[in-house]
Chain A
Amino acid sequence: MALLAVLILTGCGVGFGAGDESGSAGLTVTRDYGSQVLVDEAVGGLGQSSTAMRLLDGAAEIETRYGGGFVQSIDGISGSGGARSFDWFYFVNGIAADRGAAEYVVAPGDRMWWDHRDWTDAMNVNAVVGSYPEPMKSGYEGREWPVVVQCREQQGPACNLVSDQLAADGVEISTGEPGPESMRVMVGAWPALRSDPVASRLDAAPAVSGVFARFGREGGEGGSVTLTGLDQRGGAAAGFGPATGLLAALRTGEDPPVWVITGTDPDGVSLAAAALGEANLRHRYAAVVFDGKVASLPIPDPAAGTAP
């Protein structure tokens, strides 16, 4: 009976210490929307009780508040209030975590990303592209969403490029119509995508969309589509003309995230599709592609400064 009880308890995850150590997770610590990388490493020896907090504590000096549930400082860089508010936020596989770090149990293969940022103008950035190929491969906290690539008209080559790249990066692509639990990867020029209810949030300010970019038209209705890159205060920082691509991730509530691979025109879409890859997207909230270059969004604003 005692042996049976031990076996049952062991099966329920009961035991001494942090549990069996197996598997590893990625840990990235950055500041200012990923512009400065402080820690970027794979952490091995994940136990059954490896929370996001414990993983971080093993790799950096941290201070907490509110009974240990909130990370206040990492390696001396702390959150601060005042005119501009800075704090630490974390993403799991590119999805903003919905709970305190002490409550999130890290699974092997998860990509944990901590970023210290100015959230005054955009508190809710629900999804980012910087952990590609996550969350397409592993999902979030055991929820794996079937990935569906949605192509708009006249985007066959770009669509094929995206599908091939996803497959090459180990993402299993579902065919058929997307369901409510599907993760959509939308490929198409902005005029064709903006009718989608989720993608249309890109028309709103970063506080709503979580993306620091906005499409517009040069010369009013009927003119060519342009893209404006915004800084972390939500102000216009850089203007981009034709042949500009954008890769961004959006998420509403608990729904699966939606990735938007778009551009001002078909050439921009092709550029964005060609830029899909881990090297180009790493540590970026969203990316703008132009003239063969990939830049981060928000556009770094030297005048905005960083937290002390």
Chain B
Amino acid sequence: MNGISPLAYVPRRATLQSAGLGPVALFLGAYLLVCFFSSDPLVLAAATTGAAIAGYGCGAARAVRFSLRLGFALAAALIVINGLVTSRGSTVLLRLGEWPILGRVDVTLEALAAGAVIGLRAIGTMVVIGVWSACVDPDRMLRAVSGVARRSALTATLISRLVPLAATDYARLGEAAGLRGPGAAPVGRAAMANRLLAGSLDRAVDVAATLELRGYGQGKDAPARDEHRARSRFDRRFLVAGVVLMAAALAALVTGTGSLTTYPTIDYSPGPLSFGIAAMFAAGGFVTWRRGGWKGRRGDGR
């Protein structure tokens, strides 16, 4: 698996990969909705956990770990940045004096907490997108939405294919540079980026030519849906789970339950509804699991 992006789609006979796009979109969409819009740290943490469990359940452990690493790095940056640029909040931890542009900088506990909540959102969002990217076939996605937004679907699919390829190219170029021996001059990032860009442009020309050969330029409609695909036995499972979780997500957002107030002082009092919704999202991750696991079974799992 080395050299392949952790976020690249890998066909498996696991549940998410086998189920229809609609139920999967509903299921993961509920997680995404909560991660985007909720301010409740408990629900956010539960949704992140649930999404990670879902990823592990369908063989996307690498994608989950990669997304978590990226998410935590982004969250740390958000906490630091919010701590520096927002001097609101009553509990001053550190005075950093007057800074150019920023003015007076006071690092407060409340600003760090607000940054942590934004960071938690980022982590959750990245895990959900990582699981989607690793478990949902981009070709199926293209077929499903091509009737509605043909060009956007094509663009999204190409990106989902070409970005992992670019990552692979980067790894191979790095290996090639390392093989030149210890005496060789180090290869800077600019030179690597230059080669990567040149390779990407070459590939873009190839892709454009292939698309033209396949008739994309003539405006022929691709099948609007994955019409010939048989229903998966997991469809109902994800449909039910998706409806329940989406309802819970909307309830959490509408009622604003357990919302965290950070300024001027931290105020957080999660109620029973908050705990209930968090439990649903954490447990919802196990919907992707099945007895015996996915290992050893690659390919179509209908």
Contact = CB atoms under 8 A, between A and B. Distances in A.
B264 A68 contact: yes
B202 interface: no
B115 to A, nearest CB: 12
Nearest to B267: A63
A13 to B, nearest CB: 4
A14 B95 contact: yes
Given A68-B89, A105-B104, A53 B97 contact: no
Given A49-B106, A54-B264, A64-B263, A16 B93 contact: yes
B210 interface: no
Nearest to A48: B95
B89 A19 contact: no
Given A68-B110, A102-B87, A17 B264 contact: no
Interface residues of B, number: 22
Contacts of B97: 9, 12-14
A293 to B, nearest CB: 40
B81 to A, nearest CB: 14
B95 A54 contact: no
B264 A16 contact: no
B94 interface: yes
Nearest to A13: B97
A24 B183 CA distance: 68
A47 interface: yes
A57 B266 CA distance: 12
Given A67-B263, A68-B264, A16 B89 contact: no
Contacts of A63: 261
Contacts of A64: 88, 263-264
A54 B90 contact: yes
A15 B104 CA distance: 13
Contacts of B89: 68
B92 A67 contact: no
Interface residues on A, range: 20 to 34
A69 B88 contact: yes
Given A49-B106, A53-B264, A63-B261, A68 B88 contact: yes
Contact of B88 (A14, A18, A67): A67
Contacts, number: 67
B265 interface: yes
Interface string A1-25: 0000000010011111111000000
A58 interface: yes
A47 B110 CA distance: 18
B96 interface: yes
Interface string A96-110: 000000110100000
B175 interface: no
Contacts of B114: 67-68
Interface string A164-191: 0000000000000000000000000000
Contact of A102 (B88, B93, B98, B261): B88
Contacts of B93: 16-17
A208 interface: no
Interface in A40-66: 47-49, 51, 53-54, 57-58, 62-64
B5 interface: no
B86 interface: yes
A264 to B, nearest CB: 46
Contacts of A67: 86, 88, 114, 263
Of B92, B98, B104, B110, most buried by chain A (CB within 10 Å of CB) is B92
Contacts of B106: 49
Contacts of A47: 92
B262 interface: yes
A68 B106 CA distance: 14
The 10 lowest CB-CB distance pairs between A and B, nearest first, are A68-B263, A68-B88, A12-B97, A13-B97, A102-B88, A18-B92, A57-B264, A14-B97, A49-B106, A49-B92
Interface of B: 86-90, 92-98, 103-104, 106, 110, 114, 261-265
17 contacts: A14-B95, A14-B97, A16-B93, A17-B92, A17-B94, A19-B95, A47-B92, A54-B90, A54-B264, A57-B90, A63-B261, A64-B88, A68-B89, A68-B110, A68-B262, A68-B263, A102-B264
Given A18-B92, A57-B90, A103-B87, 7 more contacts: A49-B104, A49-B106, A58-B90, A63-B261, A68-B88, A68-B89, A69-B263
